[in-house]
Amino acid sequence: MKFGSVPVADALGATAVHSIRQGDFVLKKGTRIGPAEIAALTSAGVKDITVARLDPGDVSEDQAAADIAAAIKNEGVRADRAFTGRCNLFAETSGVLVVDKKAIDALNRIDEAITVATLPAYKPVVEGEMVATVKIIPFAVAGAARDQAVAAAAKAKPVIRIAPYKLRKVGVVSTLLPGLSPKVIEKTLKITTARIEPAGAHIIAEKRVPHEQAALARAIDELLNAGAELVIVFGASAIADRRDVIPAAVEAVGGEIEHFGMPVDPGNLMLIGRARGHAVLGAPGCARSPKENGFDWVLMRLLAGLPVTRADITSMGVGGLLMEIVTRPQPREEPVPEAGRRVAAVVLAAGRSTRMGAVNKMLAEIGGKPLVRIAAEQAVASRAKPVIVVTGHEREKVEDTLKGLPVRLVHNPDFSEGLGSSLKAGIATVPAEADAAIICLGDMPQVDAALIDRLISAFDPDRGALVVVPSIDGRRGNPVVWSRRFFHDLMSIQGDIGARHLIGNYAEAVVEVPVAGAAALTDVDTPESLSAVKAEIERA
């Protein structure tokens, strides 16, 4: 291909390399120059133009891209019309993208003018999704290079294809231990249903059995007899060894363990077994979360009828760190004191109390004490250290009620912007040595030191308990313990929405502590609620 600047009069039949703007005249890059273009360029005062002209044996960019794309595509893939040297390929059906990486690498080494890019291998795709693109960088490529690429693709075929989903019937077993809430199982089933739905699969039956080998083996046997093409086991306790309950149950029904563990995080504790020709998965704990994890990588391949061998699993390490694992313990420069984790308390008392009328609810009294002092006293009496109180509206009056208490006062000048600004002010003051903070609300006078201590005791990063929430008959309340891991998220909250959405985002890190009574749900927002709380406290 010839490339360079020529007089406009000599550009006939060539291709414009750059766009040209001259007054009202515009010539787009890639335009084939004919008599009309030459006349317009001359009229616009353009004397020279940079063009590309094909040599004998060259192939235009669009033709080359189309030819190579046609050689690459296979089952379930269609090629779009080539334009500007690019030919895009799309999935014709939902399934898993299968890519021959060695073949793609070889194609990209043939000539720097030829490039082929794809989505990651084994990515689940939907019908109509773009899965690959062939791009010719210059305006033409030597015919010999195009021919070499086409021949290489034909020899390696299939280079890319879509493996359509085949398995439709999934059986699920949940094992049970004391303390495992039925709500956790229901949520797991809901997430699993959503996870397999894009593959056209559904749960044909689910069983809940004690976390014991014999009971689990019977359940797996019954699901296979019911027609399950794939069985997923969600253990109440993580698999610790090939001789543990779940692998032992798979072997008890005549199955075998193909691989335990995987270099994907989250997803390490994955078990892949096979019984009667069907896969049996021991799901890692992260499979209870909707976030992508190693379980997805294996599950979707199996639903597409693709084998997942030990070699496949062990090759997943590069790229296998999917995100920061919030439940993974972090190294420490110094050991944790024997007394336990260090948790600070942040008492939010900056709001304007708009629903209370002219009264600042923080100053409203029960038993002769303002609400904010009641909340602060209980925090001080707990294990939380230090206690930080965030003030805002009527700062001086609120601070005056706290005289004599060993608390750190932090003023939030932006209190009118909502709860988020107070969270930011409070969290920013938590000392660096604190592992977590318990966020208390100044308008919850029935939250006592005992409740705060119960929540602090449940905070255990080594076991994945990074967010601790009180729960009353399935309803979550306050206060909430937040690991330092989430301080950045808390300080990013804006407006008056609070942190409830973060609890949903990090479900795998949340631990609920069942509590009696309504203290964790009862706040004072109106004169009526103040009267009701007063009456309840007086009755007690």
Domain 169-314 is in which class?
alpha beta
Please measure the distance between the N-terminal and C-terminal CA atoms of the chain and give it in whole angstroms. 92
Cβ atoms of 249 and 216 within 8 Å: the answer is: yes
**DSSP-assigned letters across all residues of 147-195:** HHHHHHHHHH--SEEEEE----EEEEEEEE-TT--HHHHHHHHHHHHHH
- Residue-wise pLDDT for 271-280, tens only, equals 999 999 999 9
3-state secondary structure 255-269: CEEEEECCCCECCCC
- Residue-wise pLDDT for 332-385, tens only, equals 443 343 345 799 999 999 987 777 777 788 998 888 899 999 999 999 999 999
Phi and psi angles of residue 256, each rounded to the nearest 5 degrees, phi first: -140, 155
Rounded distance between C-alpha atoms, residue 288 and residue 159, angstroms:
35
Q: Where in the chain is the domain with CATH 3.90.1170.30?
A: 58-164
Select from 3.90.105.10, 3.30.420.40, 3.40.720.10, 3.30.1490.190 the CATH code of 2-53.
3.90.105.10
CB atoms < 10 A from the CB of 296, how many? 18
Q: Provide the pLDDT for residue 323.
A: 64
Q: Where in the chain is the domain with CATH 3.90.105.10?
A: 2-53
Rounded distance between C-alpha atoms, residue 405 and residue 390, angstroms:
14
pTM confidence score: 0.65
Torsion sign over Cα 321, 322, 323, 325: negative
Rounded distance between C-alpha atoms, residue 72 and residue 89, angstroms:
9
Rounded distance between C-alpha atoms, residue 348 and residue 421, angstroms:
10
Q: CB burial class (10 A; 0-12, 13-18, 19+) of residue 406?
A: exposed
Rounded distance between C-alpha atoms, residue 375 and residue 354, angstroms:
20
Per-residue pLDDT of the chain (540 residues; tens, 9 = 90+): 677 788 888 888 888 878 888 777 888 877 788 888 888 888 888 888 887 777 788 898 899 999 999 999 999 999 999 988 899 999 999 999 999 999 999 999 999 999 999 999 999 999 999 999 999 988 889 999 999 999 999 999 999 999 999 999 999 999 999 878 888 899 999 999 999 999 999 999 999 999 999 999 999 999 999 999 999 999 999 899 999 999 999 999 999 999 999 999 889 999 999 999 999 999 998 899 888 899 999 999 999 999 999 999 999 999 998 865 555 554 444 334 334 579 999 999 998 777 777 778 899 888 889 999 999 999 999 999 999 999 999 999 999 999 999 999 999 999 988 888 999 999 999 999 999 999 999 999 999 999 999 999 999 887 778 999 999 887 889 999 999 989 988 988 887 676 777 887 777 788 899 998 888 888 888 888 888 888 887 776
Domain 343-535 is in which class?
alpha beta
Encoded tokens for 285: 């704990």
Judged by DSSP in three states, 370 sits in: strand
Cβ atoms of 435 and 483 within 8 Å: the answer is: yes
278 Cβ partners below 8 Å, 6+ apart?
224, 228, 229, 230, 231
Cβ atoms of 273 and 257 within 8 Å: the answer is: yes
Beta-strand relationship, 278-283 and 271-275: antiparallel
Q: Provide the pLDDT for residue 339.
A: 43
Long-range (24+ apart) CB contacts under 8 A made by 31-38 are 37/11, 38/8, 38/9, 38/11, 38/12
Q: Please report, as a single letter, which amino acid is at residue 527.
A: P
Supply angle C-alpha 245, 251, 252, rounded to 5: 80
Helix extents (H) in 304-411? 310-314, 371-381, 395-401
Beta-strand relationship, 95-99 and 140-142: unpaired
Rounded distance between C-alpha atoms, residue 479 and residue 499, angstroms:
11
Q: Where in the chain is the domain with CATH 3.90.550.10?
A: 343-535
Q: Provide the pLDDT for residue 131.
A: 97
Select from 3.30.43.10, 3.90.1170.30, 3.40.50.300, 3.20.20.370 the CATH code of 58-164.
3.90.1170.30
Q: Where in the chain is the domain with CATH 3.40.980.10?
A: 169-314
Phi and psi angles of residue 112, each rounded to the nearest 5 degrees, phi first: -65, -15
Cβ atoms of 88 and 70 within 8 Å: the answer is: no
Rounded distance between C-alpha atoms, residue 399 and residue 214, angstroms:
63
Task: Say which DSSP state 517 is in.
Answer: S
Encoded tokens for 318: 């590069």
C-alpha atoms less than 13 angstroms from C-alpha of 312 in its C-beta half-sphere: 16
